[in-house]
Homo-oligomer: A and B are copies of this chain.
C-alpha cells in the first residue's frame, strides 16, 4: 500500500493527529471525534475528516473514531507500527539531548548510535551509548542498515557529514545544523532550527 499522491501538507498533519490520539489513550479514552481532535489541535474538524478520508474510512457517522483503531491505522500509514533505528551525528549539547530524549519511546524511533569527530569525545558515554568516531560512520551505519539520521553538527560541517550519511545509505535526515543542505532526489530532509521558529514569531512583536 502506498499513498504517494497524498500532498506533503496532509502527511505533515498526520503525526499531530497520532500524537493527540496517543495522549487520549494515556488518558484512558476510547472514542473521539473530529470536533474534539480539532479543538485540541486548533485545526478545523472538516479538515481533519478530509485528511483522514484520503487514507480510508476510520470512523462511523455519528459514533466518531475508535481511538485505538485510528491510532494503529495512523501508525501503519506513517510506518511507525515498528521501531526505526536512528543515528545521531554530533555529540554537543543538542546531540546529547537527542541521544537521551525520552520522547521517542512508543512513537516509532530509537537512537542506537552517536558519532562525533572530536577525539576528546570519542569513546565517552552519552546515555547508553559510547560516542563513535565519525570515520567509522559509513561502514557502521551500512552494516546496521540504518535509514534515519539526526544531524547535530556545526553549520560548517553539515554538508560534508550529509554526504557521508548518504554514502552510508541514510535516506531521511533531520537537520539541526542552521544551514540548508543539498541532497540528491530520494533523500528527505527536515529542518529543526529554533531561531527560524522564533523569527516567525518575533515578526508579530513591536
Contact = CB atoms under 8 A, between A and B. Distances in A.
Interface of A: 2-3, 8, 11-12, 14-16, 18-20, 23, 40-42, 77-80, 84, 86, 93-94, 96-98, 100-101, 103-104, 107-109, 147-148, 150, 155, 171-172, 174, 178-180, 188, 190, 192-206
Question: Which 8 A-B pairs have CB atoms at the shortest separation, nearest pair first?
Answer: A172-B201, A15-B199, A93-B97, A190-B197, A15-B196, A97-B97, A79-B202, A107-B195
A15 B103 CA distance: 27
Contacts of A198: 84, 86, 108-109, 148, 172, 174, 190
A104 B97 CA distance: 17
Nearest to A96: B93
A96 B79 CA distance: 31
B79 A203 contact: yes
Contacts of A206: 2, 79
Nearest to A18: B199
Contacts of A41: 180
17 contacts: A11-B200, A12-B200, A15-B195, A42-B180, A78-B202, A78-B203, A79-B205, A80-B199, A94-B101, A103-B193, A107-B199, A150-B194, A172-B198, A188-B201, A190-B200, A190-B201, A192-B192
Contacts of A203: 3, 11, 14, 77-79
